[in-house]
Amino acid sequence: MDGMLEKLKILADSAKYDVSCSSSGVGRKNNGKIGSGAAEGICHTWSADGRCISLLKVLFTNRCVYDCEYCVNRRSADTERASFEPEELAKLTIEFYRRNYIEGLFLSSAVEVSPDHTAERILHCLRLLRREYGFAGYIHAKIIPGVSQELLYAIGLEADRLSVNIEMPTSKSLALFAPQKKPKQIFSPMRQITNTLIERKALKGPGTMFKGQDLNSTLNYLTPGQIQLAVSSEQIKENQNMDTGPARAMVPARRGKETFAPAGQTTQMIIGAGGETDRQILTTTENLYHTFKMKRVYYSAYIPVVSSPILPDALTAPPLGREHRLYQADWLLRFYGFQANEILDDENPNLDPDLDPKVTWALRHLDQFPVEVNKAPMDHLLRIPGVGAISAQRITRQRKIAAVKYEDLKKMGVVLKRARHFLTCSGKYYGEKNFMPEAIKHQILEINDGIQISMFNNDQNLLPRAGTEGKRVALHG
């Protein structure tokens, strides 16, 4: 074990900026010697920054041939370098797992020599874990752009979840900050993952976004030419459901017991390094959901780890408040039936730091309110600020056998502070009498005043606490 302590330090240190933490999406009994998958995901501890630790998140190596501006491991950075041996890392994973420190392994890597060289080493390690150690726990593997299709496929057979980082919300900032990474190189593995999942009839899609739709039809097949970071909604529509030729079968679909990335794919992007608006970010997010049907898009508030003339300077506090609002908006996309162009438009290109995105949307659309909780269909209930997925379910369940009274709402988990202005119970309205956006906004903010000010004047102390929307489902990836 000599040197492992040091290696782990270096290689975990470089991996910690990766945001994805979830261990959800695959329920599996122990079909090997050790390990199982919990569909809802399990957090094992929380570090001092309040982020959960679920997987052993490490880089395979931090020796990199790339020189991305924002990255701690860029070639030109003066930092300690180390690499794991596949055997070492497999053993460490098992030993941590046995002690219930972790839910599985999150393996990423810098690009040593070439993408394929690195991917081969990763694959070797994953095979060791799965086959020699009989590890049946969770594995999240990061795919490095530029890796060959055969290797990606082989890694997907071992891993539960795959992710390719899109890095930046627009191709413009990507060209500026990561000149060696090309959009095409990033999209091509994403496309392959989605197509392979379709071939295996295993594509599930994000949240409840595609509920009731069959994603595993040839209509959802992606062809190389059609993917770009579209900005208009027309382009989104073009991007989905194109019935074009064969992207099928770079690798023939194999049936049987083996699974390919059963927990789907995710990606992440950095927020606040380039000059994007929230609208551009959300539109890109929506595109990714529509096109690749990925499970999640993660945001990472830019933290100045390296100084560079083109990046925000080193004293800039990470935009945690913005990241928080973006996650709330992301939840609206995945679980609440919202579209990006509803949440933000030309007049409002950025999310309101003072109010959550559902409230801001509702205030702009007061004509759709108040909603009668005893009559409104599920998708309308979900649009009431302060009503989440669980409380909406409880409302629809109870009203089948007994009317929902105003006093019941609180017990059901509805946040009345916000909700009371937007609903009626058996015809009675309990909110602000002056039913105008400004008046309601004033009411909501007055209640929140103390918290709001401390939350946003001092970004350092911001709680990355997802609102009513985010909190309950946060573990579910």
Partner 1 sequence: MVDYLYDGTFEGLLTCVYHHYYTEKASGIFPREEYQSTMLGGYREVETEEEKAVTVYEAIEKKISSFTLKRIYKVFMSSVENKENKILNYVRLGFVRGPCISMLHGDSIVVPIQEAEYKVNGEVHRMKGLVRFSQLRGGVLYSSIEPDHDIVEFLANHFSDRLKNEPFIIHDVKRSKALVAYQGKWYISHFTKENLPPLSSEEKAYQAMWKQYFENMAIKERINPRCQKNLMPVRYWKNLTEFQL
Applying CB under 8 A, which residues contact partner 1? 1, 4-5, 8-9, 12-13, 16-17, 29-30, 33-36, 38, 40, 42-54, 56-57, 92, 95-96, 98-101, 103, 137, 301, 303, 317-318, 320, 394-395, 397-398, 400-402, 404-405, 407-409, 411-412, 460-465
Query: Min. distance of Cβ 4 from partner 1 in angstroms?
Result: 7
Nearer to partner 1, 402 or 446 (CB): 402
C-beta of residue 151 within 8 angstroms of C-beta of residue 253: no
Question: 312: cis peptide before it, omega within 30°?
Answer: no
Nearer to partner 1, 89 or 343 (CB): 89
User: 19 vs 51, 165, 244, 383, CA distance in Å?
Assistant: 9, 10, 35, 28
| CA 257/CA 403 separation, integer angstroms | 48
Is residue 39 classed as helix, strand or coil in its secondary structure? coil
Which two tokens mark 307?
Answer: 């100084």
Nearer to partner 1, 88 or 432 (CB): 88
| CA 329/CA 344 separation, integer angstroms | 10
Helical (H) or strand (E) element with 265: strand 265-271
* Partners of residue 425 on adjacent β-strands: 428
Q: Which residue has the tokens 């993408």?
A: 115
Contacts of 50 (CB under 8 A, 6+ apart): 463, 464
Query: Min. distance of Cβ 225 from partner 1 in angstroms?
Result: 39
Number of Cβ atoms within 10 Å of the Cβ of 249: 10
Which two tokens mark 464?
Answer: 């990355």
Query: Min. distance of Cβ 293 from partner 1 in angstroms?
Result: 28
| CA 327/CA 7 separation, integer angstroms | 33
Nearer to partner 1, 172 or 405 (CB): 405
Nearer to partner 1, 52 or 164 (CB): 52
Nearer to partner 1, 30 or 213 (CB): 30
Residue 333 one-letter amino acid:
L
Query: Min. distance of Cβ 96 from partner 1 in angstroms?
Result: 7
Contacts of 234 (CB under 8 A, 6+ apart): none
Which two tokens mark 74?
Answer: 């860029």
| CA 368/CA 359 separation, integer angstroms | 13
Query: Min. distance of Cβ 372 from partner 1 in angstroms?
Result: 16
Query: Min. distance of Cβ 3 from partner 1 in angstroms?
Result: 11
Sign, Cα dihedral of 440, 442, 446, 449: positive
Is residue 72 classed as helix, strand or coil in its secondary structure? coil
Nearer to partner 1, 38 or 250 (CB): 38
C-beta of residue 267 within 8 angstroms of C-beta of residue 163: yes
| CA 257/CA 214 separation, integer angstroms | 22
| CA 165/CA 115 separation, integer angstroms | 14
Query: Min. distance of Cβ 84 from partner 1 in angstroms?
Result: 13
Is residue 57 classed as helix, strand or coil in its secondary structure? strand
Query: Min. distance of Cβ 89 from partner 1 in angstroms?
Result: 12
Query: Min. distance of Cβ 462 from partner 1 in angstroms?
Result: 7
Query: Min. distance of Cβ 369 from partner 1 in angstroms?
Result: 22
Nearer to partner 1, 247 or 473 (CB): 473
Query: Min. distance of Cβ 380 from partner 1 in angstroms?
Result: 19
C-beta of residue 216 within 8 angstroms of C-beta of residue 264: no
| 138: phi then psi, degrees, rounded to nearest 5 | -80, 135
Nearer to partner 1, 55 or 186 (CB): 55
Residue 227 one-letter amino acid:
I
Nearer to partner 1, 160 or 199 (CB): 160
Which two tokens mark 337?
Answer: 């039936």
Nearer to partner 1, 85 or 95 (CB): 95
Query: Min. distance of Cβ 469 from partner 1 in angstroms?
Result: 17
